[in-house]
Structure 1
Amino acid sequence: MNENLSEEEMRQALFGTTNNDAVLEAPDLRVMSDQQHVSKARPAPTSRSPKLKVTLRVTAEFEGKAEMFVYEASTLSSLIAEQEAKAEAKKRKFKYFELVSIESV
């Protein structure tokens, strides 16, 4: 075996005989257009915070006339939303609370 092979001889041994003159060029596949695409301006996203709607049945006196109290809390935690709703109902002089529902808005 000949240890002093040239680079060309090594290529021929590894890849077989190639014809350097017949190098094929890849065709240009880019799509050319006359008009430049302009995207429409998107409206600015409104910053909507997650909200829960808490519905409580509230009374000012025990076994008294019940009213429905609705509070919208800007949180995803139902526990915190319920606590905020009860605190708001206390500000409006209600003493007794019964949780009716907590819904995502």
Structure 2
Amino acid sequence: MSSELTEEEMRRALFGTPQPEEQISAPLVNEPVEEVVLAKPVVAPAAKKKVAKAFTPRLRVTLRVGNEFEGKMTELIHEADTL
């Protein structure tokens, strides 16, 4: 068996034999475009009642940073309602 393959043989081994693509030109058909009418949805006036807010726990993140090992530290605190 020959260990030297030509480029064409390698292409056939990897991708298979090329099959000729047939170009078929389809006639262009102009279909009538349907008219689209957008209707605004009817919104019923709803009486909004203020609901007492339940207790929401806050997340507090404290970050201590510094430029030197065991040197001056700066503390950053961030509080958020969500994770």
Taking structure 2 as the reference length, what is the TM-score of the superposition?
A: 0.30
Higher normalized contact order (CA 8 Å, seq sep 6+, divided by chain length)? 1
Higher strand share: 1
Q: Which has the larger radius of gyration?
A: 1
Taking structure 1 as the reference length, what is the TM-score of the superposition?
A: 0.26
